[in-house]
């Protein structure tokens, strides 16, 4: 796809738009005119931001766009949310360019109220969602938890100088300072006593710094905040009406952005939106397609980085599913959420911690070192995902642990030498005069491109400097106010773009004014015969073209500059350095061999369906599945169970008359709980593997003999597929 998206025409094909024609037949002339204006405003905004994101990102690729239906209601479930306000722009522009569909995003009301972001959101028909955590405000007095500890229920809050009956609401939030956590209020007993629905999340056994602060505050007393109860009924009604008009909805179910390597757990809201819309529709053939969208960034906070947008297999929700939803709403919604989560994991690369992600990416580079420059971005993402799956499945085995440790140490060696993996093979101990000649040629190339890019660099330098400083400041503020962020890299690119959008026009006006003054001072003809307004417009456009040309030549300069370090290192190295270079190369080759062995040994579960991947990538397979198939399978499995296991009271259901308290976005606190549960499961799993180690060892030889032929075939298919795809690219 690449930069071809920049050719979006805001009004191209409007009268042939299936959404527009479908609604035009059923609506009044006034509503038709309103629809046309909304579509035009949407396309104009996306056209503008499409140019912006293609300037910020060097390469934007999409995969699986054939999964997007050309008409009918769609819910795009998008994750991970790693780039704050940039993520929606990437998905909306990519979807509009590849499928013609227009996405209305569920947007936090807090963002909707911002001047610039809110205006763009309204022009793009976004649907605001109020979040209780955005409405917290300081309250009177201090609170503590009675008998707070591992043996208590930790839900009874004692206040001193508090006014709970006036400042708090049942089903509202009670929040701690410094983003230590929020808890929902179950009951207000008096001005000084509250009962929480669930306790604040804290790990008493393995206490982190956050846990220590939280325990200290809740034991000795702390300031607090409260937020009112937010009724989501109106939001769901707006969503149901939106989908039943055949429109497209987009949602980031994780809520706020973050830079964690894993996904936050999904809330039931997204499932209810699909099932509720179909249930409320009067059309007997009504359906909603849920499409998972994975955002896979390569250094998302860096200017001129890359991104792959992957559209997964649609999940089709039909009237048959709506009938089952009416009978047993909670079970059907939970099964749909599980299916959505599974499909999201198929289009994203997630892991438990950042170090593991770095190791997996290094392993992929080692595995693909031969033809790395020919590997397309979608394949890079797919290989990262497969390696991650393989590692997570076999991480308990000694050989996999050993490989992980070795790759981690190799990464540390590269960092100590200020090198990147792709530079290792360029290190050489050959004749220094040959190396010197190559170095001079590269330096000349860098100098040539640098001279070409200097005008634009000089003109645009204030934007680079100011945006860098402001984005770092905003990242520090975001990190201080969040318990989910690691480095707060998710806000950096947003602020770089916002600062550039605000400062760049002023700079262009300044430079265009200087150019006009110089030209009119130097030439009588220009001063007397060229209108000042036209001259200013021409100079303004010239400044824009100059900076863009400098950007393109600057990229070539940077690419050449990156190759100087290994040449300089080789040219200036002493005997000991030469030995170190050779040792580093040997280490890399050894690790590459070990990674290859890992893929060959565990290949059937990691790479065996690469041919399927290529069929999907080239639009050969049918990728749609129905929720009904999953529900039917589970019904067969659960047939014969007692009736009380499948019947829930209305007060405990996800039915349409009980949507006031249904959460739409994920919660940080639940992520912490999920993580701790996964850790516990991991510990039990490790113990189980150790216990069964003798049994595995006894059967391993038999298993390896039975699978040897299948592994060899998988390896040959993979290499053949990679070779064919590399030749195509």
Instruction: Please indicate whether residue 35 or residue 726 has the higher confidence score (pLDDT).
Output: 35
The pLDDT value given to residue 321:
92
Instruction: Please indicate whether residue 716 or residue 474 has the higher confidence score (pLDDT).
Output: 474
In this predicted structure, the answer to whether residue 548 has a pLDDT above a threshold of 80 is yes
pTM score above 0.75: no
The pLDDT value given to residue 604:
58
The pLDDT value given to residue 311:
92
Percent of the chain exceeding pLDDT 90 equals 26
pLDDT band at 687 (very low <50, low <70, confident <90, very high): very low
Instruction: Please indicate whether residue 711 or residue 680 has the higher confidence score (pLDDT).
Output: 711
pLDDT band at 396 (very low <50, low <70, confident <90, very high): confident
The pLDDT value given to residue 211:
86
The pLDDT value given to residue 710:
52
In this predicted structure, the answer to whether residue 316 has a pLDDT above a threshold of 90 is yes
Which own/partner pairs from 379-386 qualify as long-range (CB within 8 Å, at least 24 positions apart)?
379/722, 379/725, 380/308, 381/63, 381/294, 381/296, 381/308, 381/310, 381/349, 382/613, 384/296, 384/349, 384/360, 385/346, 385/348, 385/349, 386/606, 386/607
In this predicted structure, the answer to whether residue 34 has a pLDDT above a threshold of 90 is no
pLDDT band at 426 (very low <50, low <70, confident <90, very high): low
In this predicted structure, the answer to whether residue 68 has a pLDDT above a threshold of 50 is yes
Round the average pLDDT of the chain to a whole number and report it: 77
The pLDDT value given to residue 631:
66
Other beta carbons within 10 Å of 203: 17
Q: Give me the mean pLDDT over the 658-683 stretch.
A: 48
pLDDT band at 633 (very low <50, low <70, confident <90, very high): low
Exposure string over 214-251, b if 16+ CB within 10 A, otherwise e: bbebbeebbebbbbbbbebeebbebbbebbbebbbbbb
Give per-residue pLDDT as tens, 549-577. 888 888 888 878 877 876 776 677 655 55
> What pairs with residue 74 in β-bridges?
248, 289
The pLDDT value given to residue 540:
94
In this structure, the dihedral spanned by the alpha carbons of residues 234, 240, 244 and 250, taken in order and rounded to 10 degrees, is 110
Report yes or no: 168 and 185 within 8 Å, Cβ to Cβ. Answer: yes
HSE, CB side, 13 Å, CA atoms: give it for residue 146.
Answer: 11
The residue extents of the domains of the chain are 2-129+232-346, 133-227, 354-429+577-608, 432-567
Q: Give me the mean pLDDT over the 60-83 stretch.
A: 90
The pLDDT value given to residue 614:
43
Q: Give me the mean pLDDT over the 639-659 stretch.
A: 50
Which residue, chain included where needed, has tokens 């931001």? 49
SS3 448: helix
N- to C-terminal Cα distance for the chain? 13
Mark out the alpha helices in 417-530 (DSSP H runs): 421-424, 432-480, 492-522, 524-529
The pLDDT value given to residue 625:
62
Q: What are phi and psi of 204, to 5 degrees?
A: -75, -25
The pLDDT value given to residue 349:
76
Taking the C-alpha atoms of residue 626 and residue 634, their distance in angstroms, rounded to an integer, is: 13
Report the sign of the C-alpha dihedral through residues 511, 513, 519, 522, in that order.
negative
Taking the C-alpha atoms of residue 167 and residue 157, their distance in angstroms, rounded to an integer, is: 14
> Of the given ranges (34-38, 517-521, 534-538, 607-611), which has the lowest mean pLDDT?
607-611
SS3 129: strand
How far are the Cα atoms of 137, 180, 182, 197 from residue 163, in angstroms, in the given order?
14, 22, 18, 19
In this structure, the dihedral spanned by the alpha carbons of residues 580, 581, 582 and 586, taken in order and rounded to 10 degrees, is 100
* Beta carbons within 8 Å of 613's beta carbon, 6+ residues apart: 382, 721
The pLDDT value given to residue 728:
47
Q: Give me the mean pLDDT over the 648-664 stretch.
A: 57
Nearest-CA neighbor of 276 among 338, 232, 342? Answer: 232
Nearest-CA neighbor of 144 among 163, 158, 154, 160? Answer: 158
Angle at the Cα of 628 from the Cα atoms of 664 and 636, rounded to 5 degrees: 115
Taking the C-alpha atoms of residue 36 and residue 295, their distance in angstroms, rounded to an integer, is: 30
Percent of the chain exceeding pLDDT 70 equals 72
The pLDDT value given to residue 431:
59
Give per-residue pLDDT as tens, 508-542. 999 999 999 999 998 888 888 889 999 999 999 99
Instruction: Please indicate whether residue 565 or residue 422 has the higher confidence score (pLDDT).
Output: 565
Q: What are phi and psi of 396, to 5 degrees?
A: -80, -15
In this predicted structure, the answer to whether residue 235 has a pLDDT above a threshold of 50 is yes
pLDDT band at 140 (very low <50, low <70, confident <90, very high): very high
Query: Which CATH architecture does the domain made up of 2-129+232-346 adopt?
Result: 3-Layer(aba) Sandwich (3.40)
* Beta carbons within 8 Å of 96's beta carbon, 6+ residues apart: 8, 43, 46, 50, 102, 103
Q: What are phi and psi of 87, to 5 degrees?
A: -55, -50
The pLDDT value given to residue 358:
72
Instruction: Please indicate whether residue 264 or residue 605 has the higher confidence score (pLDDT).
Output: 264
Nearest-CA neighbor of 336 among 358, 321, 319, 351? Answer: 321
The pLDDT value given to residue 111:
84
Other beta carbons within 10 Å of 500: 20
In this predicted structure, the answer to whether residue 700 has a pLDDT above a threshold of 50 is no
In this predicted structure, the answer to whether residue 18 has a pLDDT above a threshold of 70 is no
Taking the C-alpha atoms of residue 601 and residue 595, their distance in angstroms, rounded to an integer, is: 10
Q: Give me the mean pLDDT over the 184-195 stretch.
A: 93
Q: Give me the mean pLDDT over the 291-303 stretch.
A: 86
> Of the given ranges (94-108, 187-201, 379-393, 471-485), which has the lowest mean pLDDT?
379-393
Q: Give me the mean pLDDT over the 157-178 stretch.
A: 91
SS3 316: strand
pLDDT band at 660 (very low <50, low <70, confident <90, very high): low
For β-strands 142-145 and 156-160, DSSP reports them as: antiparallel
pLDDT band at 655 (very low <50, low <70, confident <90, very high): low
Angle at the Cα of 62 from the Cα atoms of 60 and 66, rounded to 5 degrees: 155
Q: Give me the mean pLDDT over the 326-332 stretch.
A: 88
Nearest-CA neighbor of 318 among 64, 101, 73? Answer: 73
The pLDDT value given to residue 717:
52
Burial of 387 per CB tally in 10 Å (0-12, 13-18, 19+):
buried
H helix or E strand, kind and range, residue 484: none
In this predicted structure, the answer to whether residue 698 has a pLDDT above a threshold of 50 is no
In this predicted structure, the answer to whether residue 268 has a pLDDT above a threshold of 50 is yes
């Amino acid at each position: 796809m690449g930069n071809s998206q920049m050719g979006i025409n805001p009004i191209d094909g409007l009268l042939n738009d299936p959404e527009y024609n479908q609604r035009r037949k059923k609506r009044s002339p006034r509503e038709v005119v309103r629809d046309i204006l909304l579509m035009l405003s949407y396309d104009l905004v996306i056209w503008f931001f499409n140019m912006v994101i293609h300037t910020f990102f060097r390469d934007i690729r999409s995969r699986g766009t054939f999964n997007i239906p050309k008409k009918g209601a769609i819910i795009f479930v998008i994750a991970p949310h790693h780039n704050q306000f940039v993520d929606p722009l990437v998905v909306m522009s990519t979807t509009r360019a590849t499928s013609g569909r227009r996405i209305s995003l569920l947007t936090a009301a807090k963002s909707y109220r911002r001047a610039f972001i809110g205006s763009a959101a309204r022009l793009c028909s976004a649907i605001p969602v109020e979040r209780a955590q955005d409405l917290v405000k300081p309250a009177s007095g201090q609170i503590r938890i009675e008998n707070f500890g591992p043996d208590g229920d930790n839900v009874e809050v004692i206040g001193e100088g508090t006014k709970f009956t006036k400042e708090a609401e049942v089903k509202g939030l009670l929040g701690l300072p410094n983003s230590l956590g929020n808890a929902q209020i179950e009951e207000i007993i008096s001005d000084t006593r509250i009962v929480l629905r669930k306790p604040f999340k804290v790990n008493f056994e393995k206490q982190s710094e956050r846990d220590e602060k939280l325990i200290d505050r809740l034991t000795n007393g702390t300031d607090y905040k409260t937020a009112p109860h937010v009724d989501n009924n109106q939001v769901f009604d707006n969503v149901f009406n939106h989908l039943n008009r055949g429109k497209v909805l987009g949602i980031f179910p994780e809520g706020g952005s973050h830079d964690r390597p894993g996904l936050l757990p999904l809330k039931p809201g997204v499932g209810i939106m699909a099932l509720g819309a179909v249930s409320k529709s009067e059309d007997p053939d009504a359906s909603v397609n849920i499409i998972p969208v994975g955002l896979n960034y390569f250094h998302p906070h860096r200017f001129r980085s890359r991104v792959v947008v992957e559209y997964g297999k649609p999940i089709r929700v039909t009237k048959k599913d709506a009938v089952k939803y009416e009978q047993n709403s909670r079970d059907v919604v939970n099964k749909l959420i599980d299916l959505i989560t599974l499909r999201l994991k198929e289009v994203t690369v997630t892991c438990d911690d950042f170090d593991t992600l770095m190791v997996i990416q290094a392993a992929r580079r080692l595995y693909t070192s031969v033809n790395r420059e020919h590997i397309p971005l979608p394949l890079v993402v797919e290989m990262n995902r497969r390696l991650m799956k393989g590692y997570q499945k076999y991480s308990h085995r000694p050989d996999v642990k050993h490989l992980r440790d070795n790759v981690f140490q190799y990464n540390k060696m590269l960092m100590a030498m200020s090198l990147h993996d792709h530079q290792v093979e360029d290190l050489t101990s050959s004749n220094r005069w040959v190396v010197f000649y190559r170095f001079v040629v590269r330096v000349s190339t860098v100098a040539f491109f640098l001279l070409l890019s200097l005008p634009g660099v000089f003109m645009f330098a204030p934007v680079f400097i100011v945006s860098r400083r402001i984005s770092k400041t905003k990242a520090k503020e975001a990190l201080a106010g969040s318990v989910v962020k690691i480095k707060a890299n998710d806000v950096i690119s947003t602020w770089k773009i916002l600062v550039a959008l605000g400062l760049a026009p002023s700079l262009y006006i300044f430079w265009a004014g200087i150019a006009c003054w110089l030209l009119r001072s130097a030439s009588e003809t220009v001063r007397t015969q060229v209108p000042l307004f036209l001259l200013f417009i021409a100079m303004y456009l010239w400044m824009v073209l100059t900076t863009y040309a400098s950007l393109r030549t600057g990229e070539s300069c940077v690419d050449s500059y990156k190759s100087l370090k290994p040449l300089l290192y080789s040219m200036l190295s002493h005997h000991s350095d030469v030995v170190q270079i050779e040792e580093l190369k040997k280490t890399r080759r050894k690790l590459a061999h070990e990674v290859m062995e890992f893929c060959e040994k565990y290949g059937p579960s990691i790479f065996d369906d690469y041919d399927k991947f290529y069929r999907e990538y080239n639009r050969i397979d049918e990728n749609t599945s129905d929720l009904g198939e999953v529900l039917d399978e589970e019904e067969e499995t659960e047939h014969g169970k007692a009736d009380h296991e499948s019947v829930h009271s209305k007060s405990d259901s996800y039915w349409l008359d009980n949507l006031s308290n249904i959460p739409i976005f994920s919660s940080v606190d639940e992520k912490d709980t999920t993580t701790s549960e996964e850790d516990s499961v991991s510990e039990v799993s490790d113990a189980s593997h150790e216990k069964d180690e003798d049994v595995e060892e006894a059967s391993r030889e038999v298993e390896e003999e039975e699978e040897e032929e299948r592994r060899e075939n998988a390896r040959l298919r993979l290499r053949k597929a990679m070779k064919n795809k590399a030749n195509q690219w």
